Amino acid sequence: MQAIKTAISLDEELLRKVNSIAIDLHISRSKVFALAVQDFLKVRENQSLLAQLNKAYEDFPDKDEKAISKTMRIKHGKIVERESW
């Protein structure tokens, strides 16, 4: 993938910390920013996925779901009864 140059504004203290990390890790400052953005995007994606899962599971089973569950429990019970333990 081709790298694209961009300009950003940072306060001095943040820039010092980024420079320090780049030196400690022996990577470029650009790489520090790229890694930080990748991590940020991954966190956002995970938060979004979690929100979707929470929404999907926030409701209680409706009448049809309860009926299906009851039927499956009965069928499972019959299967278990036939097993020779």
Predicted confidence at residue 57, as pLDDT, reads 84
pTM of the model: 0.62
DSSP track, 10-40: --HHHHHHHHHHHHHHT--HHHHHHHHHHHH
Predicted confidence at residue 61, as pLDDT, reads 84
Where exactly are the structural domains of the chain? 12-82
- What is the chain's pLDDT, residue by residue, as a tens digit (85 residues)? 898 999 999 999 999 999 999 999 999 999 999 999 999 999 999 999 999 999 988 888 889 999 999 999 999 999 988 887 7
Predicted confidence at residue 1, as pLDDT, reads 81
What is the C-alpha to C-alpha distance for residues 36 and 29, in angstroms, rounded to an integer?
A: 11
